[in-house]
Amino acid sequence: MNYSYLGDSNLKVSRICLGTMHFGRVTSEADAFRIMDRALDLGINMFDTANVYGNRGGTEEIIGRWLAQGGGRRERIVLATKGYGRMSDLEWPNEENGFSAYRLHRHLADSLRRLQTDHVDLYQVHHFDRHVTGEEFWGTLEAFVQRGDVRYVGSSNFPGWGLTKFQMLARQRGFLGLVSEQTQYNLLNRAPELEVLPAAAAMGIGVLAYMPLAGGLLTGRQRAIAGTRTAQVEAEYAQDLAHSPQLEAYSRLCRIIGETEAAVAIAWVLSRPAVTSAIVGIRTLDHMDILERAVTLELDEETLARLDELFNINSGRPLKPGPAPEAYSW
């Protein structure tokens, strides 16, 4: 496994980050335990989750029970989680999505309890909130760090201008600020290249690219099974696996260079400037097999140029109505 520093921090993280969104939803707890043990064997030291995963808290609870087994598990990983989203069906003003000291203090306390740990290494704001002030944003997150509940702070689904705004405010306060930004980025969704990646690079923020396989569209599948995540993403990306000349050409290119579609897709993401790590959401233990090759695969200039021809910024996921980041993020 290869490692990189996360943004301007001195924290080293694996170039592959284990995404845990499927744990407790489509992946059983027993299988999740095996996947996490295998990740450690591969040298993956960064595990990413969120309080909303697994039907609001279920994924964090699974990770907490895995950590509770001991054996140095907690000490060997950089544990990342997120807060922001609705955690209750109560129709009450402060149960809605959004950033506030009121919500985030409770969200973090609940995450620590579910994860069975006294701190998280990276606490991320899951979505961008246009209403929160810089004073409340950084006052809340700085308190978490000063208290020892959080080591580093990151963001997720932020626009480039949002990264710049909050990073400049952090520097004015003498605070390290954001060390990471999670953004949806892959060959079929290159919109982050317009503003997110350049802003992150300029502001000392490491990019954690989620969905590097575009939800399964870039794995060489011939069709998507109804009801699966791939079928959902097929609609979101306006793709038809059974009739996609673009994806067929991609598979042909991968066959020519003798690599799997999945390994090439992840390797391409890791080759991009500003990207620190690719978050791969694993559903089954078999899916772990692609990660070793993906992290060591270096694509030559000819292959990179051909990929740029096949997947230019105008040929991928259509932008949704509205401003960034909602236009391109989850």
Annotated catalytic sites, by residue? 53
Largest CA distance in the chain: 57
Cis peptide before 325 (omega within 30 of 0): yes
How many other β-carbons are positioned within 10 Å of the β-carbon of residue 105? Answer: 16
User: How close are the terminal C-alpha atoms of the chain, in Å?
Assistant: 29
**Residue among 53, 10, 94 at smallest CA distance from 210:** 53
Asked whether the beta carbons of 114 and 82 are under 8 A apart, the reply is: no
Q: Which amino acid is residue 133, in one-letter code?
A: T
Q: How far is CA 61 from CA 69, 82, 227, 300, in A?
A: 13, 14, 25, 42
Rounded Cα–Cα distance for residues 179 and 176 (Å): 8
3-state helix, strand, coil in the chain (%, to 5): 45, 15, 40
